Amino acid sequence: MGQDGTKALVVPDLKKMALVNAGTVSPDNQGKVDLAQATVAYQALINALSNGGTVSAAVDAANAAISSWHSPTNYTSIGKPVLPRVIYKPVGNSALCVRSCEQ
């Protein structure tokens, strides 16, 4: 929560995910969760916030980290089905900082 009482959430952007994953992920796997992606995103998100970034900048960092990591070969090389690439979005005050914001 911000000093002024504002709040923000980081949630999956299901509409963007459906568009991005339509050609690479089977319909059976569209709703599955990949904890490796969650870990990559969480690390980027926390690092951005702890360095003074806004929620919006942290979401951008998390999405960029997932985009760099996610590849169908990460799954097929170990005999697993391709899971959807997660795309996050901020809800609420996207300018919120948990530390003093970088200027």
- Tell me whether residue 85 is in a domain: yes
State how many domains the chain has.
Answer: 1
Bridge-partner residues for 88, per DSSP? 12
What digits encode the pLDDT tens for the residues 41-94?
A: 999 999 999 999 999 999 999 999 999 999 888 899 999 999 999 999 999 999
- Tell me whether residue 82 is in a domain: yes
Tokens 């996207």 locate to: 94
For the whole model, what pTM was predicted? 0.86
What digits encode the pLDDT tens for the residues 20-33?
A: 888 888 888 888 88
Give the domain extent around 45.
32-92
Q: Output Rg (C-alpha) for the chain, integer angstroms.
A: 15
Which pLDDT belongs to residue 27?
86
pLDDT band at 18 (very low <50, low <70, confident <90, very high): confident
- Tell me whether residue 38 is in a domain: yes
DSSP 1-31: --TTS--EEEEE-HHHHHHHHTTTS-GGGTT
